[in-house]
Chains A and B, each alone.
Chain A
Amino acid sequence: MGKTVLTGKHFWYGNIAIAEGAIAAGCRFFAGYPITPASEIAEHISRRFPQIGGIFVQFEDELASMAAILGASWTGVKSMTSTSGPGFSLMQENIGLGAMMEVPTVIVNTQRGGPSTGLPTLTGQGDVMQAKWGSHGQYEIIALSPDSPQEAFDLTIRCFNLAEKYRVPVILLASETIAHSAGKVVVPPEDEIELVYRKKPKVPPEEYLPYRPDEDLVPPMACAGEGYTITTTGLTHNEKGYPDTTAEAQEKLARRLNDKIRKHRKDIVDVKEENMEDAKIAVVSYGQVSRPAKRAVKMAREEGIKAGSIKLITIWPFAEHVIHKWAKQVEYFIVPELNYGQIYLEVKREADGNAQTILIPRMGGTLFTPREIYQEIKKVNKK
């Protein structure tokens, strides 16, 4: 047997860190389809899984890959797929099914420039809103965004933990920049990695209702072949899992699917704040943009400008309470994004007129330089 957790210091590309993070999280089923710039994740897993007894399948497309990871998760196995924009679009169908059936699973999207085939080899952050509501209907999902290979490793593990805890598909919103940047990754000893597993039923099969939630709004999950005779459907269903296509059932189910995430926002949301104590200008960033943003804030501080940085590690659910809080202190939020304003609008909404929100847009392809963000801070500071 090969080693499952590669404890030690490594110099890894982001994609390798993601694959190793998944293995360390206990993922033993991977289904995917080749796509730039995500393919190295599948390649690495196809090499590693036979060593450690995981199931790897390269499917005919992303539709199948997404369906297969849901099926695998229904046996109690932790499952994952990885893709980029065009494949992510195809996966939306069964991401919706995963939300509806409440299936713990992880989807990695190493974003590239879009729309459509766009920039296969270059970076972007255009899939932020798609990650939230790319599938039809009203649902809530979890998405995390890493800014380095180390964070890619760490957050992949957290994606699995959140998926298991809340019975929901979780998206790692990475990007080409992270996928293809190499950096130091420290893998802790196996027993120091905290892993979460889905709740199992505490009652015998005859008393078990597959969609009766506990107080935390998450139902315990019996899996296939465990004697619980479960039934599940993408149709609106009742606590037995039987189709119930009425307005009443819809109100109850769809509301709970949203509330189980919304009501745990503070548990799920993770942000990193720096230099915020006396800040009047806050740069709100996520993913790879956090790195030039952090540097830009440092440059501004050296000039005596009261700038701070809020890095969103959790993208969805949105860090409403964080922005709301700082909006009372800061005068400006500056949001640099590799799109034409997606998180910007969320920040603006939560600032609610208490602070001005300024977008630094870029359509993707390259990352901001620290100076570009710094200049915007300076410009705002003069106002």
Chain B
Amino acid sequence: MSKQISKEEKLEELHPMDKWLRSERMPHIWCPGCGIGPTLYAWARALDRVGIDKDKVVYVSGIGCSGRGSGYLNVDGFHTTHGRAIPFAIGIKLAKPELCVNVISGDGDLFSIGGNHFIHACRRNDDLLVICINNFIYGMTGGQLAPTTPRGQYATTAPYGNIEHPFNTPHVADASGAVYVARWTSIHVRRLEKSIAEALTMKGFRYIEVLSPCPVNYGRRNKLPEPDDIAEWFRQSSVVRNGADTSEVQIEKDKPLILGNFVKRVEKLTYYEGLKKLEERVRGAR
């Protein structure tokens, strides 16, 4: 064979995240200043830190801006229907328990249309890591009111200000029985990564809320129009209080944002563990 220079000469890895990214899908659809990217970066770093086999990682998402993430990461990705990421993920995890199943979706997806699935998965203690990227708004559809929009803030369907009472999502998770509950923001990338890594080593329903800027559809209508305005709000208002009582971490306009690792329960059986014990009992009795 005559000497030829291969066209597919091996490329140097250019970015530490190349392993985790479907680079051919770049550029992504997210806006400048969005917090989804840093959140996924923290998640992928945490997977590396814990040393989880990439082929065993499953990423399930619902609908909305963050729903698109499952198609950008280089793992088995499932972009499902609006609100149904959690039950879809439960199906995967129960049917193949050796997989590391993650749900990463938005606040509207997980707490409005998917709210019922969220609380019941907490209650059953399904073995999932659920990360809610909370940007306080429906970003993809153009800035409508979310179940997390703080009172008095503006949305395209709340043009005179929000009159509703938003969810305090860590408290919802805690009250519903999640075994791990934390809140960080997308600018606290290192602490978020550590928190995700801790959650990845646990079993059961683990919940991390990540406050995330949406400059285009939240910031613009709420006097935070520049790409880094919301990040600056997070920086100035954040107070880390690990172990805080989740009933006291409600997000309110002009109040401190309480962040931290709030809840860690170790004794609660997962649904799958309960099922396996039941199987033993049933078979033993025969």
Contacts and interface: CB of A to CB of B under 8 A. Distances in A.
Q: Do A and B bind each other?
A: yes
Interface string A2-20: 1000000000000000000
Contact of B22 (A56, A57, A96, A231): A231
Interface in A19-71: 28-29, 31, 50-51, 53, 55-57, 59-61, 63-65, 67-71
A243 interface: yes
Interface in B42-92: 54-56, 58, 60, 68, 70-71, 74-81, 83-84, 86-92
A225 B95 contact: no
Contacts of B99: 75, 224-225
Nearest to B70: A231
A228 B77 CA distance: 11
Nearest to A56: B275
B3 interface: no
Contacts of B76: 224-225, 228-231
A97 B80 contact: yes
A51 B281 CA distance: 10
In order of increasing CB-CB distance, the 9 nearest A-B pairs are A71-B91, A68-B91, A64-B87, A233-B79, A72-B91, A75-B96, A72-B95, A67-B84, A67-B87
B81 A93 contact: yes
A234 interface: yes
B43 to A, nearest CB: 16
Nearest to A48: B282
A340 to B, nearest CB: 31
A225 B84 contact: no
A56 B96 CA distance: 14
A225 B60 CA distance: 13
Contact of A31 (B91, B96, B116, B275): B91
Contacts of B71: 231, 233, 241-243
B120 to A, nearest CB: 4
Given A75-B99, A241-B71, 5 more contacts: A51-B283, A64-B86, A67-B81, A68-B91, A71-B91
A300 to B, nearest CB: 49
28 contacts: A2-B286, A29-B94, A31-B87, A31-B91, A50-B275, A51-B283, A55-B275, A59-B87, A67-B91, A68-B94, A70-B88, A71-B91, A72-B91, A75-B96, A76-B95, A77-B96, A79-B91, A94-B81, A94-B84, A96-B81, A97-B84, A225-B98, A226-B55, A229-B54, A231-B70, A232-B79, A233-B70, A233-B79
B96 A229 contact: no
A50 B283 contact: yes
Interface of B: 22, 25, 54-56, 58, 60, 68, 70-71, 74-81, 83-84, 86-96, 98-99, 116-117, 120, 271, 275, 278-279, 282-283, 286
Contacts of A68: 87-88, 90-91, 94
A71 B77 contact: no
A71 B278 contact: no
A296 to B, nearest CB: 44
A71 B75 contact: no
A153 interface: no
Interface residues of A, number: 48
A243 B84 CA distance: 19
Contacts of B91: 29, 31, 67-75, 79
A235 B76 CA distance: 16
B67 to A, nearest CB: 9
A137 interface: no
Contacts of A224: 58, 76, 78, 92, 96, 99
Given A61-B116, A225-B56, A55 B84 contact: no
Give the most central of B84, B89, B117, B286: most A CB within 10 Å: B84
B210 to A, nearest CB: 22
Contacts of B83: 63
A227 interface: yes
